[in-house]
Every structure is written in C-alpha cells, then in structure tokens.
Amino acid sequence: EAIRLGDLARQLGVKVQELIKSLMQLGIMATINQSLDIETATVLAEEFGYEVEKVGFSEDEFILPKEEDNPEALEPRWPVVTIMGHVDHGKTSLLDAIRESKITTKEAGGITQHIGAYYVGTDRGELVFLDTPGHEAFTAMRARGAQVTDIVILVVAADDGVMDQTREAINHSKAAGVPLIVAVNKMDKENADPERVKRELAEFDLVPEEWGGDTIYAYVSAKSHSGLDDLLEMVLLQAEVQELKANPAKRARGHIVEAKLDKGRGAVGTVLVQEGTLHHGDAFVCGLYHGKVRALFNDRGKNIKSAGPSMPVEVQGFDGVPEAGDEFVAVQDDKVARRIAEERQTKQREKDLAKETKVTLESFMAAKADEEVKSLNLVIKADVQGSLEACIEAVRKLSTDEVKVEIIHGGTGSISESDIMLASASSAVLIGFNVRPTARIKDIAEQEKVDIRFYDVIYQMVNEVKDAMAGMLAPVV
C-alpha cells in the first residue's frame, strides 16, 4: 500500500512543496515522484488537518461468489476422470492405452502434448482424463480446495487383488464423495482372478451389480487394449447419471492441474475450466499470481481462441508459476487482477506469520458450534493391523448422538504425505499410534496446519479424544 506524493498533495489540496517541507520536518527527504507508505501519509495528512479513512479492499467485489446458475443457462459438460490404484497395478499403462487407442484421427493435425490432462472422443461421448494418476495428487489438490474429478477409475490388478494403496484410494475417493468405477486390469494374465478382486472389494462396500450391489466393474487389459471401449462406456454411463452441467456463457473459473516455468514461454499452467469460457486476452487471478491470457493451447498443441467447461487448456501469460490445485478465475481487467494478486500476497505473508492450525482436538468445538450433529474426523495410522483395529474400535465406540467420530482413513505403517493431505482436505485430526514422524512429515503437517497426535497406549488416546468431545459438548457461554 502506497500513495505517490503528487497524488496525496492533490487530494489534500496543498502544494507538493509544502508536503516536502513537512516531510523534512519529520526527518524524511522526499521528491515529488516518491511514494509514501500509508502510515507516513496518514501522519502527513493529519498535519494538514485531515483524517485518513482506511478503505478496505475486498476481492469479493470483483470475484463474485459462486452462485447457482439459471438452469436454462446450463449445458452438459464432459466428465473429468482420475485413475487410482495400487502401485504397479497399471494406472499409467491404462492412461497410455486409452490415450493411444482413443485419440481419433478426426482430431488429426498435432502431436499429443503432455499438459496434465487429455481429451478423449469416442462414438458414445467425450471425456477428459487427468494425467497424474493416484490418490496423492488427487488429495493434495483437494487439500487446496480444488475438486476437479467427477469420476474415479480404481485400477486393481487381477493377479494381485486389493492392496494397501487400493484401500487408500477407496478411502480418499469416499472422503471426496466422488463415485468410483472398478477396472480389473491385467485380464490377459494367466493367473488373473477377477472373482477374488470382486470378493475383496465387496468388503469395502464395492459390491458388483451382478451380486446385487451398485458398483460398476469393467475388465480390461492395458497391455492388449482389450475392454477399453467397455470401460469408457461405463464411465460415460456413470457421467450421464450425474448430469454434469455448467454454464459456458460467463467468465471462466477453473483450477490448475499442472504448471511449470518454460524456457521460451515463461510461466505456463494447464487450467481445467470448470465453468464459463476462457478467451484469449482475458485477465485472470490464480492463487497468488495474475496475468492475461496471451495464448491458449489444447492437448494436441493446437493454438485455440477459447476454452469452455471441462476443457483442459494450457495458458500462457502468468506472472509467476501457480501450483496444482490453485483456483483460476477470469476477472474484468488487468488492474483488478493485479490488485487482487497483490492483496493475496500480503495476506499470505501475514498468514505465514500467524501459522494457525486447521482443526485441533481443542479447537473442534468452536469451529462446529453451530452444527447439530458434529463430526470429529480422524485419520489413524498404526504400526500393525492389530493395533489399528483396536484403535478404530476404541474411538468409534465414543460416538454419541451429538458428536460422531468419523474415521476417514485407517492404515498401517508410518505417516505419509498423503495421510496429511487427506487430513487437511477432510479437516481431520491425524492420530499416530506407535509410529513416529520424520522431520519432513512434521514440516508438512505444520505447513498444512494439520494436528497430529501420537500415542502408544490406547486408553490415553481414548481419554484425550473423549475429553475433546466433552469439551465440544459443553461450550462455556
């Protein structure tokens, strides 16, 4: 915040020389083109008998809150899909297989570019795949407030079945409320056992339709490309049920799925447009940065003029490299964009200094005071399966009519970055039982403002959770 001396003089209706003289008396040597900080300007204005009123700046004036669109303005949009699953079960192979087999010759002209997401056209409909598979990226984005995925494809290798990261993927998509379709992969393998996969997944409420459940299963081989059509058809059917729609006729809003500093082109970011249409020349704000759309490229490297809902598009014209998950909002003009970005950077600096924690066992009540049934979300990591089950059992029993204990995820092994992201995205407290954090994990937890509690005795954990819940129930008025 600063004001030029000349502008201040004009506003006060005095000569600049007089201001310079007064400043000298205050011990400040100034020239006409100099800018003064607000404090100095205030003192100076008071010298001349004025009172300075601080007019707050609110970006809400310019970035309007998301509001319900008139139903008539809504048009169908393509589903956006993320592939998840255990390592080596074939996520990357499946993404590649779909990309190779489905990018039709209709779209000729242009070579596939890796921009973070790609478009697929089929006879049955169109969809978009995010290029970073796995629940880590998915939840990291969610922790930043970005939900771009409409449907999750859970890949499970038919010769291996449900593994640790399969379970994590299930819990991460459940926590996000995103519907899930199972792709049983590696069906070409001799020892493929899809029945076993179904049995194991049924334990997680992913009961196949043929067994009376409502989970869609597809059987594929990323290697031989078999079953891909079927899988895509299932995804499109699921999308139809969800009736995905957006209003293309307004200023664009979306999220960054990937960004980088390009030698020749400066900062570029791939925006997944979620509503409105982004045009060449639009001014925008994105995270702490701003800019003006200088060029738009699709995933075929084609220079395009505009991008509507569900379109991933590489944008050139950022004044800094944004982060995956940052919200991207087109605004009325450059000036507003710059102003908002400056304001955000100031706020960010203040926040970095304050470092408050998102949810702690103690702060829980205050945050949820106005809700009827409060829920205390927990992510629990324990050393072994036995103690994990004991922990879950013990805290689950603490649920009452007023406070529900919700186990967002339970797993064994050390606390990982994705556990922290899940806790952050779900406003959960992380509990470590018989596990110790590394320095890096502590840092990330601090950055993400997640409260981690460590215990090695169950009753201690139970008592503290109970106390926290009781505290919640008895607000001191």
List interacting residues with ligand GDP (CB under 6 A): 85, 87-93, 185-186, 188-189, 221-223
Structural contact between residues 252 and 307, judged by C-beta atoms closer than 8 angstroms: yes
Angle between helices 5-12 and 16-25 (to 10 degrees): 110
136 or 448: CB nearest ligand GDP:
136
192 or 380: CB nearest ligand GDP:
192
Residue 298 DSSP label = -
Give the CA radius of gyration of the chain.
27
149 or 221: CB nearest ligand GDP:
221
Coil, helix or strand for 114?
coil
Minimum Å gap between C-beta 226 and ligand GDP is 8
Minimum Å gap between C-beta 175 and ligand GDP is 21
Q: Which residues are annotated as a binding site for GTP?
A: 85-92, 131-135, 185-188
Minimum Å gap between C-beta 224 and ligand GDP is 7
Structural contact between residues 187 and 437, judged by C-beta atoms closer than 8 angstroms: no
Q: What DSSP string runs through 150-196?
A: SEEEEEEETTT-S-HHHHHHHHHHHHHT--EEEEEE-TTSTT--HHH
Minimum Å gap between C-beta 183 and ligand GDP is 10
154 or 431: CB nearest ligand GDP:
154
Q: Which residue type is seen at 329?
A: V
Minimum Å gap between C-beta 134 and ligand GDP is 8
Q: Which residues are annotated as a binding site?
A: 85-92, 131-135, 185-188
Angle between helices 5-12 and 38-47 (to 10 degrees): 30
95 or 268: CB nearest ligand GDP:
95
Angle between helices 164-176 and 135-143 (to 10 degrees): 30
84 or 378: CB nearest ligand GDP:
84
| Token pair for 209 | 């339709």
In angstroms, rounded to a whole number, what is the distance separating the alpha carbons of residues 384 and 33?
68
Minimum Å gap between C-beta 202 and ligand GDP is 22
Give Cα separations from 156 to 96, 98, 129, 169, 213 (angstroms). Answer: 16, 16, 18, 11, 18
Minimum Å gap between C-beta 325 and ligand GDP is 21
Structural contact between residues 376 and 399, judged by C-beta atoms closer than 8 angstroms: no
152 forms beta bridges with 82, 180
